[in-house]
């Protein structure tokens, strides 16, 4: 992968990973309520789920999601519903640390599954596959470069938000 493309990937990864979204918001809320150690389960789940989503998109499933309007609408609806629920729960707390701890007890596999209804995760995965992986003769090599970079950013951004919340 040429240096200019890799630099663009790093810029996109930084912008998308470190701007607030469902993962970072939940990482912050869990850590604020239960501490950094409890949030690590979710922080580690995000890159695992995101890697699975990226691999699915790279294998062509992303194209199916884009091509089938009902599936795209279902993912959007679930994602929007989840974001609205999370926003409502957080808005009814005087402080982030007063959010309902029982509702923020997110397990590892729930964190992995969240990536499949996370609109921001889908957008990023589809963008990366379309821009950096698909249509290139060295697509597997590119995927081998992109995947660890994105795993690093998924982990480090959520860890940063969790540490801030703690």
- Say yes or no to pLDDT of 78 above 90: no
Angle at 73 between CA 71 and CA 75, to 5 degrees: 70
Phi/psi for 24 (5° steps) reads: -70, -35
Lowest mean pLDDT among 24-38, 48-62, 96-110, 150-164: 96-110
Tokens of 14: 């930084």
- Say yes or no to pLDDT of 112 above 80: yes
Lowest mean pLDDT among 28-42, 64-78, 115-129: 64-78
Tokens of 78: 């679930």
- Say yes or no to pLDDT of 153 above 80: yes
Phi/psi for 156 (5° steps) reads: -70, -35
Question: Which of the four pLDDT bands, split at 50, 70 and 90, describes residue 75?
Answer: confident
* Mean pLDDT of the region 2-18: 92
Using one digit for the tens of pLDDT, what is the confidence trace for 130-152? Answer: 888 888 889 899 999 999 999 99
Residues 6+ apart with CB under 8 A from 89: 99, 100, 103
Q: What is the mean pLDDT of the chain?
A: 84
Q: Give me the DSSP letters along 17-80.
A: HHS--HHHHHHHHHHHHH-HHHHHHHHHHHHHHHHHHHHHHHTTHHHHHHH-HHHHHHHHHHHH
- For the chain, how many residues are written? 166
Give the residue, 157 or 133, on which the prediction is more confident.
157
Angle at 17 between CA 120 and CA 153, to 5 degrees: 130
């Amino acid at each position: 992968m040429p240096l200019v493309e890799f630099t663009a990937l790093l810029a996109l990864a930084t912008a998308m990973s470190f701007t607030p979204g469902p993962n970072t918001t939940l990482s912050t809320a869990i850590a604020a309520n239960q501490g950094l150690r409890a949030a690590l389960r979710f922080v580690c789940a995000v890159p695992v789920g995101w890697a699975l989503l990226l691999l699915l998109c790279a294998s062509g499933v992303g194209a199916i999601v884009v091509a089938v309007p009902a599936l795209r609408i279902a993912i959007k609806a679930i994602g929007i519903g989840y974001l609205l629920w999370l926003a409502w729960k957080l808005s009814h707390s005087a402080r982030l640390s007063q959010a309902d701890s029982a509702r923020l007890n997110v397990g590892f596999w729930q964190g992995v599954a969240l990536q499949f209804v996370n609109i921001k995760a889908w957008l990023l995965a589809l963008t990366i596959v379309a821009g950096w992986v698909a249509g290139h003769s060295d697509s597997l090599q590119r995927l081998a470069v992109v995947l660890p970079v994105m795993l690093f950013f998924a982990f480090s951004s959520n860890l940063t938000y969790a540490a801030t919340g703690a």
